[in-house]
C-alpha cells in the first residue's frame, strides 16, 4: 500500500469522518483559511490514483468514499514505523513511546490494562 502525504492524510481524515462526501462537504470540513477548490480536486485525483478513495457519479457531481479503512491505514503506518525505526522490535517501540510521550500515571495504567487484556485473549 502506498503512503499518503500529510495534506492527503488530512483530507482522508475528513473523508473517514464523513464516510461519503462531495467536494463541497470536504471543503466545509476544513477550518479557515480553507484550501482552494483546485487544491482539493488535485488531492482527490491523486488519492483516487493511489486507490485510497473512489467515487460515484451523481449527475455532474462525484460522491467520494474511502476504499481503505482508517484502522488498516494506521495499523500499516505503525508497523512500518516499528520496522524502520525500532529494528522490528515492538518492545523498543513501546519503551520509546512510554518514555518520550510524557504519559500520565493514569494513561500508563490504561495502557497496562489494554496490554493485560490482550495477553489474556492470546
pTM of the model: 0.77
The alpha helices in the chain, defined as continuous H runs, are 6-18, 23-29, 37-49, 70-85, 90-100, 105-121
Domain 6-66 of CATH type 1.10.10.10: yes
Phi (first) and psi of residue 21, to 5 degrees: -160, 145
Kindly state the average pLDDT of the residues 73-82.
88
What local confidence, expressed as pLDDT, does residue 119 receive? 92
Quick: pLDDT tens for 83-122. Answer: 888 888 888 988 888 888 888 999 999 989 989 999 999 8
The span from the CA of 35 to the CA of 28, in Å, is 10
Beta-carbon count within 10 A of 34 CB: 13
Kindly state the average pLDDT of the residues 57-84.
93
**Can you give the residue ranges of every domain in the chain?**
6-66, 70-121
- Cell numbers for 122, please give them: 492470546
- Cell numbers for 86, please give them: 525500532
Amino acid at each position: 500500500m502506498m503512503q499518503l502525504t500529510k495534506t492527503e492524510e488530512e483530507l482522508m481524515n475528513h473523508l473517514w469522518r464523513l464516510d461519503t462526501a462531495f467536494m463541497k462537504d470536504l471543503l466545509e470540513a476544513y477550518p479557515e483559511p480553507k484550501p482552494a477548490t483546485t487544491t482539493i480536486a488535485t488531492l482527490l485525483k491523486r488519492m483516487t490514483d493511489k486507490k485510497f478513495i473512489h467515487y460515484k457519479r451523481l449527475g455532474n457531481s462525484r460522491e467520494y468514499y474511502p476504499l481503505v479503512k482508517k484502522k488498516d491505514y494506521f495499523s500499516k503506518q505503525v508497523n512500518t514505523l516499528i520496522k524502520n525505526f525500532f529494528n522490528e522490535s515492538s518492545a523498543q517501540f513501546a519503551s520509546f513511546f512510554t518514555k518520550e510521550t510524557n504519559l500520565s500515571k493514569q494513561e500508563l495504567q490504561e495502557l497496562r490494562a489494554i496490554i493485560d487484556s490482550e495477553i489474556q485473549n492470546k
